[in-house]
Chain A
């Protein structure tokens, strides 16, 4: 007998909310311990993230990164694969974006560069995921191990390229030259006048992330490929029985996943930094795992979780500024607690909630 089924709103709404509240309660205790007022801290955090246009802009900017990396983890997750390599795939994806921008920025407007950059990001990210995928599919090397290893390889590769190949001539900085107008995505602040995002770098990549979310939903739940991915993830033996090829599913899924990770670089490189620089991924790939877990591997959940983590990033920065006792490291502790409660301890409160929501009288069906 499967665990009791809950109404959807409880499963997807109430439980994550309770987990979140628990995380904040524990965080509040930590804040208390270092002698600050937790209520004030929450107020500063929320105000910093949502209280003014620029704050919202930063929140959405970070959320854009998380949507891409969260979707990447989620797609792989549906096939039962744990892609820990979002970090490296995004990093190498940045190479694709940068090459497209460097090649085209002086010749064509940004909207001509954009499709090439999207393709570059996706192809490079996918290529970086392909090798672990192939090793898993054909050699049975565990994808968790190989994708982690490929993160490290990507660090070395990118440093080498940035220092020796792509660096601006005459500069000691491990970064490329700054892209011209033709290699920059427009800031949302410049193309609409409803909200004033100030200097926040939120840009057109946010729209791309939302389109990617919709496409992921269609692929996973409405296409034959998605059906096969979900079948393989839920019951690999049944998938083989149904005539599906595990190797093919593993490789295609990881290509999509890597491609989505790679597209995170559109936001950072083409949307904000306007140059390829060292370690620009900065952990977004890893946080994508938490985003996917908290969002239940569903695009809508991922968008919401991404916004939450965007808030933590932006509001956290504001908090560190306003309350010096709460350092950057404290913010990471709070983020860690959210990940712990929303991800790792996802089932902490579930049994109790199941008990509350199951009617006491029920037909005696299947037992044991």
Chain B
């Protein structure tokens, strides 16, 4: 690693209008190493990588690849320089085969036959060299997520990538799939490739990288040898102050059942059964966590319970009142009336109206309450007064009721949603991905608030794809796979065990090697 660095950035600056996304960035990435870049959402990681991959041009500063100063005007030039990128959201054509996806944009001539023959050979070579096994004739849309990601990596390698950038690669993977990915990355490194891993997960940095650079508010604040640092130190660098990484909570003291769901079945718009025969109970003073890899029916489950999505069958009892979700006229307004709060998974799509002022979002869903009516009109003074109280209580910054919601940071937006749902004093709170895209400081706050709510005797159903979050908050864990609940575990359950359940390995059977990502 002492030779010329694979990548060197000197004094890179990039602004978007008023936003200084990258400020005087210096970065050295050693050849044949795994280099992590960590930082909160909005710290400027993705912008920096986009500059490296030619999506954006730096305002100033220079880029050196293999010791040579280069200008990267577009992704094609980046590819020519041997830089490959695996995006967070895959850039694959679902109905195409693996082979077709690999040669996409590198077809080599007007007819495909020559290109495919070459690609087939090359894929075989890559398989032998790096253990990247995928059936070249499988249709990409049918592959599990872990394998789709492998296709992305193959695409980059096929184009001769020596430097591989991975942007939040584990967001959609089960823990087992993530482990497998890390093994592949290690093989790539050992074969001399350079890997840049962008993530906001401290554990991944510790598990796999050789060196780590920390970004905060557009600046590169530290570059450290992974072996010589700790999660606590990195977290402190990321946030700029020391943070509590673990939630402090006492064991739950659950009382009577408040929420009971029986035989819930949901079919989505494509006619696929996405929630299958789900039944469970949540007691007062208890957080029940639903773990699972994204896309296994958790979203639909939450939406059905919140009254947003129609169920095929299923009953829901809240306190002692039973509602039939299939035959009754259920809507979200009714569920709120029955005492159900709902923090939706996606605050931008569902939980907030980004073009609205803060105070307008602070009553979304509760705007019909008599509290906010003044004759025929809305009592805007009353709404603002309440919004101000929530801003104070939840430390929402900047403390403005009139600012458009789009101008708040992710963490503060989430606090606006949380305040709105919690302060209406619901009996049951449905919470989806409470800390997605939220900075560490706000995560700490949100977790504490949820625990407090539990201790006040509320029933909380928590859906999260972050296994760490489920493990640290939930008192009971249900694992969802392919629309069904495949297992229930107590609070301190073993991560590997949960990971296997999330991958669909049957509950009773001994954990064999048959992880979903391994078939095909």
Residues of B within 8 A of A230 (CB): 353, 356
Q: How far is the CA of A231 from the CA of B404 in the complex (A)?
A: 14
A106 within 8 A of B: no
**How many A-B pairs fall under 8 Å by CB?**
118
Contact with B along A338-368 (1 / 0, CB 8 A): 0000000000000000110011011111111
Chain B positions 361-381 with a Cβ under 8 Å from a chain A Cβ: 364-365, 367-368, 373, 376-378, 380
CB-based contact A364/B23 at 8 Å: yes
B351 within 8 A of A: yes
B50 within 8 A of A: yes
B84 within 8 A of A: no
Interface stretch (choices B173-181, B406-414, B451-459): B406-414
A195 within 8 A of B: no
CB-based contact A231/B21 at 8 Å: no
CB-based contact A243/B19 at 8 Å: no
Q: How far is the CA of A368 from the CA of B87 in the complex (A)?
A: 14
CB-based contact A367/B355 at 8 Å: no
CB distance from A311 to the nearest CB of B (A): 32
B46 within 8 A of A: yes
Task: Name A358's contact: one of B17, B308, B373 (CB within 8 Å).
Answer: B17
CB-based contact B17/A234 at 8 Å: no
Contact with A along B155-198 (1 / 0, CB 8 A): 00000000000000000000000000000000000000000000
Q: What's the dominant secondary structure at chain A's contact region? A: loop
Chain B positions 336-354 with a Cβ under 8 Å from a chain A Cβ: 336, 342, 344, 349-354
Chain A positions 266-322 with a Cβ under 8 Å from a chain B Cβ: none
CB-based contact A224/B378 at 8 Å: yes
CB-based contact B18/A358 at 8 Å: yes
Residues of A within 8 A of B407 (CB): 2, 5
Chain A positions 328-345 with a Cβ under 8 Å from a chain B Cβ: none
Task: Name B365's contact: one of A4, A243, A358, A367 (CB within 8 Å).
Answer: A243
CB-based contact B351/A241 at 8 Å: yes
Residue of A nearest to B334 (CB): A243
Chain B positions 395-431 with a Cβ under 8 Å from a chain A Cβ: 404, 406-407, 409-410
Q: How far is the CA of A365 from the CA of B219 in the complex (A)?
A: 11
CB-based contact A241/B378 at 8 Å: no
With known contacts A231-B353, A238-B351, A365–B360 Cβ distance under 8 A: no
CB-based contact B331/A243 at 8 Å: yes
Q: How far is the CA of A367 from the CA of B410 in the complex (A)?
A: 11
With known contacts A238-B351, A240-B308, A231–B378 Cβ distance under 8 A: no
Residues of B within 8 A of A365 (CB): 19, 42, 217, 409
CB distance from B111 to the nearest CB of A (A): 39
CB distance from B97 to the nearest CB of A (A): 32
CB-based contact A218/B308 at 8 Å: no
Q: How far is the CA of A367 from the CA of B20 in the complex (A)?
A: 8
Q: How far is the CA of A112 from the CA of B240 in the complex (A)?
A: 73
CB-based contact A3/B19 at 8 Å: no
Residues of A within 8 A of B410 (CB): 366
Q: How far is the CA of A234 from the CA of B17 in the complex (A)?
A: 24
Residues of B within 8 A of A173 (CB): none
Residue of A nearest to B306 (CB): A241
User: Which of A235, A241, A244, A358 is the most central at the interface, judged by chain B CB atoms within 10 Å of its CB?
Assistant: A241
A245 within 8 A of B: yes
Chain A positions 43-97 with a Cβ under 8 Å from a chain B Cβ: none
Residues of B within 8 A of A242 (CB): 332-333, 364-365, 367
CB distance from B313 to the nearest CB of A (A): 22
Q: How far is the CA of A354 from the CA of B307 in the complex (A)?
A: 42
CB distance from B519 to the nearest CB of A (A): 35
Contact with B along A1-41 (1 / 0, CB 8 A): 11111000000000000000000000000000000000000
B47 within 8 A of A: yes
Q: How far is the CA of A235 from the CA of B346 in the complex (A)?
A: 13
CB distance from B322 to the nearest CB of A (A): 20
Task: Name A2's contact: one of B360, B376, B404 (CB within 8 Å).
Answer: B404
CB-based contact A359/B19 at 8 Å: no
CB-based contact B364/A231 at 8 Å: yes
Residue of B nearest to A4 (CB): B17
CB-based contact B47/A368 at 8 Å: yes
B30 within 8 A of A: no
CB-based contact B332/A240 at 8 Å: yes
Task: Name A237's contact: one of B17, B20, B350 (CB within 8 Å).
Answer: B350
CB distance from A226 to the nearest CB of B (A): 8
Residues of A within 8 A of B306 (CB): 241
Residue of B nearest to A359 (CB): B18
With known contacts A218-B377, A367-B42, A367-B218, A227–B360 Cβ distance under 8 A: yes
CB-based contact B18/A4 at 8 Å: yes
Residues of A within 8 A of B42 (CB): 365-367
CB-based contact B349/A238 at 8 Å: yes
CB-based contact B380/A222 at 8 Å: yes
Residue of A nearest to B303 (CB): A241
Residues of B within 8 A of A224 (CB): 367-368, 373, 378
B44 within 8 A of A: yes
Residues of A within 8 A of B18 (CB): 4, 358-359, 362
Residues of B within 8 A of A2 (CB): 354, 404, 406-407
CB-based contact B409/A366 at 8 Å: yes
CB-based contact A241/B355 at 8 Å: no
A199 within 8 A of B: no
Task: Name A234's contact: one of B46, B50, B356, B380 (CB within 8 Å).
Answer: B356
With known contacts A4-B17, A242-B332, A365-B409, A235–B353 Cβ distance under 8 A: yes
Q: How far is the CA of A243 from the CA of B380 in the complex (A)?
A: 20
Residues of B within 8 A of A241 (CB): 306, 308, 332, 342, 344, 350-351, 364-365
CB-based contact A367/B404 at 8 Å: no
CB-based contact A367/B21 at 8 Å: yes
Q: How far is the CA of A124 from the CA of B217 in the complex (A)?
A: 58
Residue of B nearest to A361 (CB): B20
CB-based contact B17/A355 at 8 Å: yes
With known contacts A241-B308, A364-B218, A234–B355 Cβ distance under 8 A: yes
CB distance from B308 to the nearest CB of A (A): 6
CB-based contact B353/A238 at 8 Å: yes
Q: How far is the CA of A361 from the CA of B218 in the complex (A)?
A: 13
Q: How far is the CA of A2 from the CA of B306 in the complex (A)?
A: 29
A156 within 8 A of B: no
Chain A positions 197-249 with a Cβ under 8 Å from a chain B Cβ: 218, 222-224, 227-228, 230-231, 234-235, 237-238, 240-245
User: Which of A5, A243, A362 is the most central at the interface, judged by chain B CB atoms within 10 Å of its CB?
Assistant: A243
Q: How far is the CA of A223 from the CA of B376 in the complex (A)?
A: 7
CB distance from A198 to the nearest CB of B (A): 41
CB-based contact A238/B21 at 8 Å: no
Q: How far is the CA of A224 from the CA of B353 in the complex (A)?
A: 15
CB distance from B275 to the nearest CB of A (A): 18
With known contacts A222-B378, A368-B46, A3–B17 Cβ distance under 8 A: yes
- 18 CB-based A-B contacts, threshold 8 Å: A1-B17, A2-B354, A4-B18, A224-B367, A224-B368, A235-B352, A235-B355, A237-B349, A238-B349, A241-B308, A243-B332, A243-B333, A244-B333, A359-B18, A364-B218, A366-B410, A367-B19, A367-B42
Q: B residues near A, CB below 8 A?
A: 16-23, 41-42, 44, 46-47, 50, 217-219, 306-308, 331-334, 336, 342, 344, 349-356, 360, 364-365, 367-368, 373, 376-378, 380, 404, 406-407, 409-410
Give 4 new A-B contacts, CB below 8 A, not counting A238-B353, A241-B351, A243-B336.
A231-B356, A241-B342, A366-B410, A367-B47
What are the 7 A-B residue pairs with the smallest beta carbon separation, nearest first? A243-B333, A367-B21, A364-B218, A362-B18, A242-B365, A243-B332, A364-B20
